[in-house]
Amino acid sequence: MSSSGKDANSGHYANYVGPYRLEKTLGKGQTGLVKLGVHCVTNQKVAIKIVNREKLSESVLMKVEREIAILKLIEHPHVLKLHDVYENKKYLYLVLEHVSGGELFDYLVKKGRLTPKEARKFFRQIISALDFCHSHSICHRDLKPENLLLDEKNNIRIADFGMASLQVGDSLLETSCGSPHYACPEVIRGEKYDGRKADAWSCGVILFALLVGALPFDDDNLRNLLEKVKLGVFHMPHFIPPDCQNLLRGMIEVDPSKRLTLEEIQKHTWYLAGKNEPEPEQPVPRKVAIRTLASVEEIDPDVLESMHSLGCFRDKDKLTKDLLSEDDNQEKMIYFLLLDRKERYPSHEDQNLPPRNEIDPPRKRVDSPMLSRHGKRRPERKSMEVLSVTEGGSPVPVRRAIDMATHGQRSRSISGASSGLSTSPLSSPRVTPHPSPRGSPLPTPKGTPVHTPKDSPAGTPSPTPPPSPSIGGMPWRTRLNSIKNSFLGSPRFHRRKMQVPTQEDMSSLTPDSSPELAKKSWFGNFINLEKEEQIFIVIRDKPLSSIKADIVHAFLSIPSLSHSVISQTSFRAEYKSTAGPTVFQKPVKFQVDITYTESTSATKENGIYSVTFTLLSGK
């Protein structure tokens, strides 16, 4: 039991969280541990995610708060439930539904490719839950078998909404996030995208994996993998039913305007086939009345903070104005959905807990005093500490952001993040006529031809390039060395170990016609720069779109790095490492600007561009 309340890397945390006793570790990720919790009276089992607030950047904590708000908004039988939130000065505890069936990933590894009937059962449940999310303007953005859990009856639970985002109206999303094997081409290219279309692509890749036991796009080298995804050319095994092949081609469609929507998917013949097969469980119908709020005092403070956490309502004045509007709008719809959820599941202070010898026991995040729907103020609940509006862990508008995508260590993410619970490195499932590599988790089906996309980059760099030399000096250089050492390596549906890039990998990011400096890795030179604040790289004879694509590729291949688009020619990035000495754990923030250099004979197609890397903070 002594190990249940201690983490070697993060110090001590409580042995009890409210009425729950912490037991075995279910998994471990970059944001912390997930442990089994058992209710002291009822023996109810829950999964408790423990987040160390002292060792995570502000942006990661914002992401956790956003996940909490989203889980409050989504109530569906096939979405993992959030029960409560506890916190103390150092830790944040998310009390989640516990499901005993493990991950769909492990189920697929164990069974190999599934029958069309079983694959359809899982697929229907995923689409049903995802359609519910989209109807509430929530896009998951990191759908993959590692984030799909199974209960004791082998029913799906969509989990890990750490990269999810609210997409309001016809707006587009900008942050590149997700896992490269499951991400759509427009996300790979770093373009603005429709999160609903991105989720539909990911579901197509998941369905392919269920039916084939391998992935449609795979490569030992990350750059080659990204190129294959952008081309969208994959082999369709003959054993997939013809109507399902049609569905897969419609979902794994490079052009998002031609890609099937969830509505079209649910009307497809293969989706509707199997009349005797079980239907996905449907959510309990909820009729939430949207009424007029008479004044600011009538707005519930907890719901308002949850809306700020969602990221797209960060303008508090505008949000307040929209909520007080007499017209119905999306802001009011989300507000009253969250208010309805709060009133159906009020968060009261725990009662009759036995005394425990803990200096800073976790306290439940309880409801603030608020107005009821009928305009009457509720009596204030007595509490040792009202935690719903504290600086340490509850939603604070000025700290919110939607561009952070760092979570877990299960599957390398496009944003450089990873998610899930396991860190065991296994080999890649491959679509190949030869025997799978030793340790490959997904056996290759017999007779499956080699996947050979057209115009795919020839050759694959050595899987074991020479290690990078150690670099001494200031912490800034040391952190950048960490970035370089993790520059490439294939993300893990198959849990592959990361690889250090070869010089060929690094030089391929810039054209042969560019100056000698630009032929080297941009990040490699960033590490070796003499001046610590900025580095300038000159690139000639390459269009702006290609330069931007190379920068996005570089961002995507770095673990624990997130980026956002500032303008057409500017990016901002943050790198955070949670491993190693304390000096590595401070976030490094930098900006990348692309400038066109005018000349008498140059055009923007063959002129000269300057790429400037500027250190903002993190020395």
Instruction: State mean pLDDT over 541-569.
Output: 81
Q: For position 250, what pLDDT does the model report?
A: 98
Q: 33 vs 260, which has greater pLDDT?
A: 260
Determine the angle formed by the axes of helices 116-135 and 195-212, rounding to 10 degrees.
170
- For residue 583, pLDDT over 60 is answered with no
Q: For position 43, what pLDDT does the model report?
A: 93
Q: Which of 195-204, 242-251, 353-362, 366-375 has the lowest mean pLDDT?
A: 366-375
Q: For position 30, what pLDDT does the model report?
A: 61
Q: For position 456, what pLDDT does the model report?
A: 40
**DSSP helix/strand/coil, 485:** helix
Is 505 catalytic? The answer is no
* CA dist., res. 258 & res. 485, Å (int): 39
Instruction: State mean pLDDT over 558-569.
Output: 80
The continuous run of DSSP H or E covering 27 comes out as strand 20-29
* CA dist., res. 472 & res. 352, Å (int): 56
Q: Are 188 and 180 in contact (CB under 8 A)?
A: yes
Tokens of 48: 């408790």
- For residue 410, pLDDT over 50 is answered with no
Q: Which of 225-234, 261-270, 433-442 has the lowest mean pLDDT?
A: 433-442
Q: For position 380, what pLDDT does the model report?
A: 37
Instruction: State mean pLDDT over 254-258.
Output: 97
Burial of 247 (0-12, 13-18, 19+ CB in 10 A): buried
Q: For position 472, what pLDDT does the model report?
A: 39
Fold of 104-284+404-419: Transferase(Phosphotransferase); domain 1 (1.10.510)
Instruction: State mean pLDDT over 40-49.
Output: 93
Tell me the domain boundaries of the chain.
Answer: 104-284+404-419, 475-617
CA distances from 211 to 142, 239, 356, 428 (A): 20, 9, 51, 17
Backbone angles phi, psi at 166, to 5 degrees: -85, 125
Tokens of 583: 């000096």
Q: How does pLDDT run across 446-456, given as a tens digit for each residue?
A: 334 444 443 44
Residue 589 assigned ligand-binding role: no
* CA dist., res. 534 & res. 142, Å (int): 33
Q: How does pLDDT run across 505-539, given as a tens digit for each residue?
A: 333 333 333 333 333 333 333 334 444 467 878 88
* DSSP summary character for residue 238: T
Backbone angles phi, psi at 230, to 5 degrees: -65, -35
Region label for 43, one of left (φ > 0), alpha (ψ between -120 and 50) or beta (otherwise)? left
Q: For position 168, what pLDDT does the model report?
A: 81
Q: 618 vs 471, which has greater pLDDT?
A: 618
What value, to the nearest 5°, has the Cα angle with vertex 400 and ends 394 and 403?
A: 130
Q: Which of 9-18, 49-58, 388-397, 447-456 has the lowest mean pLDDT?
A: 388-397
- For residue 572, pLDDT over 70 is answered with yes
Q: For position 320, what pLDDT does the model report?
A: 84
DSSP states of 506-570: HHTTS-TTS-HHHHS-HHHHHHH-SSSSEEEEEEES--HHHHHHHHHHHHHTSTTEEEEEEETTE
Instruction: State mean pLDDT over 294-319.
Output: 79
The whole-chain average pLDDT of the chain stands at 73
- The structural architecture, per CATH, of the domain 475-617 is 2-Layer Sandwich (3.30)
Q: For position 460, what pLDDT does the model report?
A: 39
Q: 542 vs 37, which has greater pLDDT?
A: 37
Q: Give the strand order in the sheet containing 588-597.
A: 534-540, 608-617, 588-597, 570-575, 561-567
- For residue 409, pLDDT over 50 is answered with no
Q: For position 59, what pLDDT does the model report?
A: 83
Q: How does pLDDT run across 272-292, given as a tens digit for each residue?
A: 997 788 888 887 777 777 788
- For residue 355, pLDDT over 80 is answered with no
Confidence of residue 108 (pLDDT cuts 50, 70, 90): very high
Cα torsion 42, 45, 49, 54 to 10°: value is 30
Confidence of residue 501 (pLDDT cuts 50, 70, 90): very low
Confidence of residue 399 (pLDDT cuts 50, 70, 90): very low
- For residue 232, pLDDT over 90 is answered with yes
Q: 320 vs 407, which has greater pLDDT?
A: 320
- For residue 181, pLDDT over 70 is answered with yes
Q: For position 605, what pLDDT does the model report?
A: 59
Q: Are 364 and 349 in contact (CB under 8 A)?
A: yes
Reported pTM? 0.59
Within this chain, domains 104-284+404-419 and 475-617 share the same CATH topology: no
Residue from 84, 142, 302, 550 carrying the catalytic annotation: 142
- For residue 95, pLDDT over 80 is answered with yes
Q: For position 413, what pLDDT does the model report?
A: 46
Q: 518 vs 572, which has greater pLDDT?
A: 572
* DSSP summary character for residue 5: G
Long-range contacts of 157-161 (CB under 8 A, 24+ apart): 157/78, 157/79, 157/80, 157/97, 157/99, 158/78, 158/79, 158/80, 158/126, 158/129, 158/130, 158/133, 159/80, 160/407, 160/408, 160/419, 160/420, 161/67, 161/70, 161/71, 161/74
- For residue 68, pLDDT over 50 is answered with yes
